Structure 1
């Protein structure tokens, strides 16, 4: 159970808060995910949170498939059931197969991923588990991505690591609709 209440539109007292809920419902899935409902306790920060998340998703040159492989790698490296459950559907839309979804958890070279995909998975896992990334791991990814994509990948990995920490600190529960 979350450490702070998960809010709904009914809790939005002012017109500014109503417009934030309008934005949230227009840009994200309905029903609203628990992370957003919990962050609604800090509406100004939720608004900025949404803008940043949207920029990572929609304003990036990084391929959606590589982005989702990185996010899923962060989720698996941290054991975040919430992040994994929410991003498997995004991964499927980005072209990650069911076999690959299963294999990304082990971080093994199963023959299901190409070199750029393996390099992104390794970078995301190493950054998540060790913070500092070896030159060899960085160089393996940089061999396939330009500088802009490497910065976007770095920001994506860091952003989703922060999401895992937010969910953990606040005890944000996975929605029943995502439970197996």
Structure 2
């Protein structure tokens, strides 16, 4: 299959100076180096920092996995990042997000009863951060009250990080999904 990624991906194993970085990516990501990281490898410092940040967001926060994956899916919808949505739908399922929630996350406000209070809260924060940039004080207070200061930071960082991911994917025309996280 031919791709128009706007810049060429770095084929893993073709640049000896990237061996340690590729090994670190493989270690955190479960073996394969997804096309997203192959594009990022064009800038080793960015690829390294990206992996460290996204590993912290994915694997080292206290946010329940199902909430994290709902945030990621919603960001992908809002930013028209089909690669991100397709890559994270299986992770959402593994985290316990129902097929129905995955299907309706695009218009979640039309199915409020389907979502828990926590899910509605993080989806609202996700929408405000992604669409409006500014988040009303009352919504941030609800987030901080429900999740404490650390949890509020982790929810906001997850939204922000996956906005970065989806916007990068869209900018470089990365639309086809294989295994990715």
TM-score (norm 2): 0.89
Task: Give the aligned partner of residue 103 of structure 1.
Answer: 104
Task: Give the aligned partner of residue 132 of structure 2.
Answer: 130
- Contact preservation (8 Å) 2:80, 2:170: no
- SS for the counterpart of 1:146 is helix
* Number of aligned positions between the proteins: 175
Measure how far apart 1:29 and its partner are: 4.3
Task: Give the aligned partner of residue 113 of structure 1.
Answer: 115
| RMSD (Å) for aligned C-alpha atoms | 1.7
Task: Give the aligned partner of residue 11 of structure 1.
Answer: 14
1:148-173 alpha-carbon deviations (Å, 9 max, x no partner) = 00001111101111112211222223
- SS for the counterpart of 2:16 is coil
- Matched ranges for 1:26-41 at <5 A: 26-41=27-42
Match for residue 148 of structure 1 among 150, 165, 173: 150
Match for residue 172 of structure 1 among 171, 174, 177: 174
Where does the alignment leave 5 or more consecutive residues of structure 2 unmatched? none
Where does the alignment leave 5 or more consecutive residues of structure 1 unmatched? none
1:51-107 alpha-carbon deviations (Å, 9 max, x no partner) = 111111222111111111111111111121011111111111111010111121112
